[in-house]
Amino acid sequence: MRTLFIIAYDITDERRLAQIRYFLKGYSTGGQRSVYECYLTKEELKFIISKLKRMIFPYEDRVHIFRVDGRSRVITLGIAVPPSDPSYFYIG
């Protein structure tokens, strides 16, 4: 079963920022520049946390991972599209 998580980050180094952005896009169904909507299994979440811990500098960077309660109503404004869990993911 997949759960929706919002992953937001603030990375101080441009190279690390690009690496983290590329890494998270592989798990994302949508989002913006430094905020991604990711439907993840428990195993995927553990892997992402483990990988991000090795990618960031803990005294310079910050990453927030928020679990979104599936019962909550999503409010979108402008051209925003509500997140949806796709039937499959292509990672590559």
What CATH number has the domain bearing residue 40? 3.30.70.240
Q: Is residue 38 part of a domain?
A: yes
pTM of the shown model: 0.77
Rounded Cα gap, residues 51 and 29, in angstroms? 19
71 in Cβ contact with 13 (< 8 Å): no
- Quick check: 76 pLDDT over 70? no
| 69 assigned ligand-binding residue | no
User: Is 30 within a domain?
Assistant: yes
Q: 55 vs 82, which has greater pLDDT?
A: 55
List, for residues 2-32, the tens digit of each pLDDT value: 898 999 999 999 999 999 999 998 888 777 7
- Taking the alpha carbons of 6, 11, 16, 22 in that order, is the dihedral positive or negative? positive
Domain limits for position 43:
3-67
Answer yes or no: is 26 within a domain. yes
Total domains in the chain come to 1
| 18 in a structural domain | yes
Sequence letter at residue 52: L
Instruction: Please indicate, yes or no, if residue 88 is contained in any of the structural domains.
Output: no
